[in-house]
Amino acid sequence: MRQIPLGAKGTSMLRVQPEHLANRFKDALLPQVLATPVMILVMENAALNAMRPYFDAGESAVGTAVDVRHFAATPVGHEVRATAEVINVEGRRVDFKVSASDDKEEIGSGTHQRIVIDLGSFNERLAEKGASLRNGGPDSFRHKGLPADRGDG
């Protein structure tokens, strides 16, 4: 990974469709407005877009933390635009200030964190984890360096 500069920015946009609504994710009685998880998805995509120019071949990034508030409703048909700005970089960890707005107002803001990964290594660990389910369950998979969860803590 090339050094990601503080202040690097990314954006992502989404036109709100019926499948993005809160009443599709939870209770059908909820209002027909953009679901919070979908707003977060757009914010995460903005952060990924801020990082993308700095990846080396075979790299990507996964989200590891989200702390956002969703404070205004957005109905079907409106466009949501998220922005992400790099505010801290420590090794492979990148922290962002994120926000989202619709055609009328800001609808959410907060922070997000991503970790740069090597796709080859990540996919190998994922395949091992998948194989553990086929070969005796989740107890047969142990992340390197971490103890098994014994359910006593």
Please give the positions annotated as active site.
Answer: 36, 44, 70
Cα separation, 147 vs 150, whole angstroms = 9
In terms of Cβ atoms closer than 10 Å to its own Cβ (0-12, 13-18, 19+), residue 118 is middle
Cα separation, 5 vs 88, whole angstroms = 9
Phi/psi at 101 (nearest 5 deg)? -135, 150
Question: How distant, in Å, are the alpha carbons of 6, 34, 43, 68 from that of 81?
Answer: 21, 13, 8, 15
Q: How far apart are the first and last CA of the chain?
A: 37
Helix (H, G, I), strand (E, B) or coil at 25: helix
